Amino acid sequence: MQKRSERARRAAAVLGLSALAVLTGCATPAPGPAAAIQALPSALKIDRSHVSQNQDSRVLYLILHYTEANFDHSMDILTVERPNRPPVSAHYLVRETPVEVYQLVDESQRAWHAGPSYWKGASLLNSSSIGIEIVNSGPRREPVEPGDQDFVPFPEEQIQQVIQLCKEIVARHHIRPDRILGHSDIQPQSKQDPGPSFPWHRLAEAGLIPWPDAAQVAAAQPRFAAQLPDVGWFQDQLIAFGYGLERSGQLDHATRRVLSAFQMKYRPSRYDGLPDAESAALLAVANTPGGMRMLGAGATP
């Protein structure tokens, strides 16, 4: 009898706690994923007074995008879950008018922005990156060929906010300058954001990313103008720089897309994906030790 009474008391206690949980759940909204993890109680007494010096951030990359939609539509796409559709999100959204910065995903959490990405041997970069979506309509019309487009410019104040946000993220996670990339760098076959209107050189001047040394490019260009390398050379250079591309020896669609992505970033005045002397000089310098230089007084080493 005594054992039965004890079991009955335990069962009543469990039922009471379950009912309380149900009532609490009805009274308040369920927390988001990050809040739920933090709210989990610990049964252990953990001593956190010893901190290892052998660690760094899990965040290795910073990826920039444009939304190709207005602010309201962008916010809806990035925050609302849709059944039977792949999840889409980003850590930050930078509005254009008025210029405002929204954090949509905690930096400790994975956002779904990079897709089937690749850069310098690393793939599926969602797990190791922070994504910034910039409200911008992108191309004004669909292209007939790579480079056959006109892109909407970014407002000056919006660019200033993006640069400041990048600086703060880089400082928190010690992201290497060569790992601040565009969506078109890591997924060039299907993406072209943030596009040729995005002023990558401004990020170089702010000390965030490296840039091909102008003097070396100018010195190399006449040599390539006299004799342009074959397509295989361009493919080798693009692969060495970090892009995902197969060496076919042919100026195929995939090669033009990747070369266009490189041109949009470093020579946005012409991004048709066709080999030329200036693109060859830029690639050669970019892959030469010491060819990529940090600009600006606040340059990150």
Q: Return the DSSP state at 230.
A: -
Q: Return the DSSP state at 146.
A: T
The rounded distance, in Å, linking the Cα atoms of 15 and 18 is 5
Residue-by-residue DSSP string for 99-110: --EEE-S-TTS-
The rounded distance, in Å, linking the Cα atoms of 87 and 111 is 9
176, amino acid identity:
R
pLDDT score for 296: 73
Per annotation, catalytic residue among 68, 96, 133, 278: 133
Q: Where does residue 155 rank: exposed (0-12), middle (13-18), buried (19+ CB within 10 A)? A: middle
pLDDT score for 26: 35
Helix axes 253-266, 277-286, angle to 10 degrees: 80
pLDDT score for 150: 85
User: Is residue 79 a contact partner of residue 92, using CB atoms and an 8 Å limit?
Assistant: no
Q: Kind and range of the H or E element at 115? A: none
pLDDT score for 144: 55
Whether 205 is catalytic: no
Long-range (24+ apart) CB contacts under 8 A made by 49-52 are none
The rounded distance, in Å, linking the Cα atoms of 259 and 272 is 8
> What is the 3 state secondary structure string of 54-65?
CCCCCCCEEEEE
User: Is residue 91 a contact partner of residue 130, using CB atoms and an 8 Å limit?
Assistant: yes
User: Is residue 287 a contact partner of residue 280, using CB atoms and an 8 Å limit?
Assistant: no
Q: Give me the tens of pLDDT residue by residue for the chain, a chain 301 residues long.
A: 444 444 444 444 433 333 333 333 333 333 455 555 555 667 899 999 999 999 999 999 999 999 999 999 999 999 999 888 889 999 999 999 999 999 999 999 999 999 999 999 999 999 999 999 999 999 986 665 666 678 999 999 999 999 999 999 999 999 999 999 999 999 999 999 999 999 999 999 999 999 999 999 999 999 999 999 999 999 999 999 999 999 999 999 999 999 999 999 999 999 999 999 999 999 999 999 999 999 975 554 4
The rounded distance, in Å, linking the Cα atoms of 64 and 7 is 59
